[in-house]
Amino acid sequence: MTDIVMPQLGETVAEGTVAKWLKSVGDEVAKGEALFEVSTDKVDTEIPSPASGVLLSILVEEGRTVDVGTVLAVVGVPGEVATPPRDDSPPASEPASSTHSASSTARTPREESTLRLSPLIKRLLDEFDLVASDVVGTGPGGRITKEDIARTVAERDALNSSDGPKVSSPVVRRLMNERGLSEGDLEPTGPHGRLTRKDVESASLTRGDEVIPFSKIRRLTAEHMVRSKATSAHTLMVKEIDFESIEVVRRRHGAQFKESEGFSLTYLPFIAVATLRALTAFPHLNASVGDNELIVHHDLNLGVAVDLDSEGLVVPVIRRADSYGVRDMARSIRDVATRARHKGLSLDDLSHGTFTITNPGPFGTLLTGAVINQPQVAILATDGVTRKPVVVTSPHGEESIAIHSVGLVALTFDHRAVDGAYSARFLARLAEELQGDWSDALA
């Protein structure tokens, strides 16, 4: 038999949440086949099975947060019997009483502060207007289960008059007020006739509104964006770029590149390489803000924002990206974007970024003021490139009109870290790089 354990997801990660089991007990599983998903505060990652066989048992249910190294399941040969996990919770026939709650299983403040709560338990606590210290956990290690919450709510509601109004949490009351609903409009489905968030959302659907709860990645993206706007003094600066020299290379070598690499040659790897060259001359944009200090990073670790089918964003990092040429940069961007969309990133893939590029240009955008990826001090947005007339000056100073590929690049920078003049000079240097000679870029 082979124990399946919670993997180490990163250097500083000590625990993980089992987000989803991809196999059921009794299913055959092959070595290397995705077995379950682990959720962190940054990304959901599929974990492969370390052995072939049959999934004999699942010891940690979905939604549970456990320490790295905890046995989650057992894989073996058909007919083997998995050893059941040790269960420190009280027998099901001995429900915890209010007296028991206040004495032998009561948690101290120190124990409470270190208690890990799964996303499901956090949502239920919020739903029923509880804090963790209100509930005595009967799960392994004193962890709170959904049955513990149900029991606590039942005990509390028993103190209310059965003839009184339905009790709602502040969250539910706020939702009711926002949507113009009263208790008479709702059908309670919670314990003892209690109204829940789902009751409000279900009633809203009858009025023509569609309620779409934030997914985990959508919620985390939102929290990250709000935190960034509250932290950094966001300032936007834009530069027009003549991409014609790059366009010449793409037209000349694009077909051969796609045949050999399996994907198209876009503007993005050129922009990434040029940006990294410019950053070596303007290192204060490859930095983060500390305690009244600017921390300049000597490694150039490029983050590339990746859209997850409109569900949210992740920013995988290409380490020491300044050592890459255009072809290797294109391969690296393709690799991290593909792994991001197939849940193949580790926590380390999302760590230690020093500067970020976001690329809405393929959708034809004109100008994007991106939000800084904390704790960095700048982010570059690359918008749509179009064919348009430009003034061209010959070596002899004669001017003429030509059709070139032109687009905008937009730098959002933290005005705490640098001033406008520094950022303007960076953009001027970036324009020089992008408008220079790229004829040997794919050699």
Give the Cα separation of 41 and 5 in Å (integer). 19
Phi-psi label, residue 52: left if phi above 0, alpha if psi -120 to 50, beta otherwise = beta
- Please give the angle made by the CA atoms of 2, 18 and 172, to the nearest 5 degrees: 160
Strand partners, 304: 357
Closest by CA position to 75, among listed 111, 124, 33, 131: 33
Contact 37, 343 (CB under 8 A): yes
In 3D space, the residue among 88, 11, 427 whose CA is nearest the CA of residue 235 turns out to be: 427
Whole-angstrom CA distances from 78 to 1, 54, 56, 263, 385 are 10, 6, 8, 44, 59
How many other C-beta atoms are found inside a 10 Å radius of the C-beta of residue 381? 24
Q: Which is the catalytic residue, given 299, 322, 419, 437?
A: 419
Residue 129: burial class (beta carbons within 10 Å; 0-12, 13-18, 19+) = middle
Phi first, then psi: give them for residue 179, nearest 5 degrees: -105, 10
46 secondary structure, DSSP code: E
Cα angle 66-17-109, degrees, rounded to a multiple of 5: 55
Point out the catalytic residue in the list 41, 209, 342, 415: 415
* Residue 180 φ/ψ, nearest 5 degrees: 65, 35
Cα distance between residue 417 and residue 285, in whole Å:
8
| Alpha helical stretches, state H, 4-141 | 98-102, 109-114, 119-127
415 part of the active site: yes
Assign 3-state DSSP to the chain and report helix, strand, coil percentages, each to 5. 35, 25, 40
Q: How many CB atoms lie within 10 A of CB 287?
A: 22
Where b means 16+ CB within 10 Å and e means fewer, 48-64 reads ebeeebbbbbbbbebbb
Catalytic status, residue 27 = no
Q: Is the dihedral of CA 121, 123, 127, 130 positive or negative?
A: positive
Active site residues: 415, 419
